Amino acid sequence: MSPRRFEDRFPQYSPKKPPPAQGIKVNKPGTTWWGQRWIEALERVLRGDSGRLARGRTYARAGRAHDLSIKSGKVKAKVTGSRDPYSITIELPQLSDLVWQAANAFMAEKAEFSALLLNDEMPRQIDEAFQAANASLFPKTRADLKTSCDCPDYGDPCKHIAAVHYVLGDALDRDPFLLFELRGRTRAQVLDALRAARRGGSADHEAAPASPGTEKPPSVTLGKLTRKSYDAAPAPLPALSFSFEPPPAHASVLRQLGAPTSWNREAPPLETLAPLVQTAAAAARRLALSDPEPTPPSPPPPPPVKSRAKRRTKR
């Protein structure tokens, strides 16, 4: 009986497949504070070992995660490893309507929330908005994250789930509204609810129209006017207060309006008009506060001209 070869005693594994062409390459996830908070949730809430997390970061940088989709709080993605692509799902529980109503009411009290969100930035006080309803926008416990992967690794999380988490951290850096969508609200729903809350209404429940024939026409009761009371205010006027502080985010209105249909320049309106609007706002603030106009720096004096003395020649 001939002895077995070394190759027969140990199985030969096929080389790892290259990253797919549609892979999502991540250079450095967590460049914003909210993206970093998501990365911290992976490393703290899931409590994965450092080896699997490191391999997950390597997979994310190599672009092995692909086919990423987010819908109704559920994240689906594929990760190509050494074999066929593995299917990954990450799911967060949806926050109730009462939680969203309380959070919207809190955010509506401060204009800074709307300004920053319109500028695609997550307000740092966002935790306070959801703590008012005894909830959290970011996952805090293991029950807040439901993950699954069809790979043979039973680690929690495996490197494929960790790779998708890092890809999500990079996506959150570019679009903070994805965090709201993971909790059950789209960008349009959040902004509409904020506008309705600031108006004192509700974006979820519109007032029912009155039945025909029951509407009462508006009426105005005029008091007796005299020559002396004509220009007098009927009630004491409220004290006026003005604030000339710079806005938390510049050009939010331009970002919200977008490009008009008649815009025919190559550069978008935000890039073209935002510096002009910011300069005009600074000039208006300087006039309102009676600040002196900054004087431009005077040009340096010209260098002295060397005079050439004429030599007298003897005749």
pLDDT at 6 over 70: no
Q: Write out the two tokens for 11.
A: 């199985």
Read off the pLDDT of residues 245-296 as tens digits, 9 standing for 90 and up. Answer: 777 677 777 776 677 777 778 788 878 888 888 888 888 878 877 777 777 7
Element (H, E) at 178: helix 177-182
Residue with tokens 């006026």: 240
Residue with tokens 């008012």: 132
Would you state the pLDDT for residue 285? Answer: 79
Peptide bond into 303 cis (omega under 30): no
pLDDT at 107 over 80: yes
Question: Can you tell me the mean pLDDT for 92-118?
Answer: 87
Asked whether the beta carbons of 298 and 253 are under 8 A apart, the reply is no
Asked whether the beta carbons of 89 and 75 are under 8 A apart, the reply is yes
Calpha distance 154→165 (Å, rounded): 17
Calpha distance 156→175 (Å, rounded): 27
Tell me, what DSSP letter sits at residue 96? P
The two most distant CA atoms of the chain are separated, in Å, by 127
DSSP string, 6-24: HHHHSPPPPPPPPPPTT--
How far CA 103 is from CA of 16, 125, 200, in Å, comes to 47, 11, 14
Read off the pLDDT of residues 119-164 as tens digits, 9 standing for 90 and up. Answer: 888 988 888 888 878 888 888 888 888 889 988 887 778 889 889 9
Q: Write out the two tokens for 304.
A: 């002295």
pTM comes to 0.58
Q: Given its phi and psi angles, is residue 213 left (phi above 0), alpha (psi -120 to 50 degrees) or beta?
A: left
Asked whether the beta carbons of 74 and 89 are under 8 A apart, the reply is yes
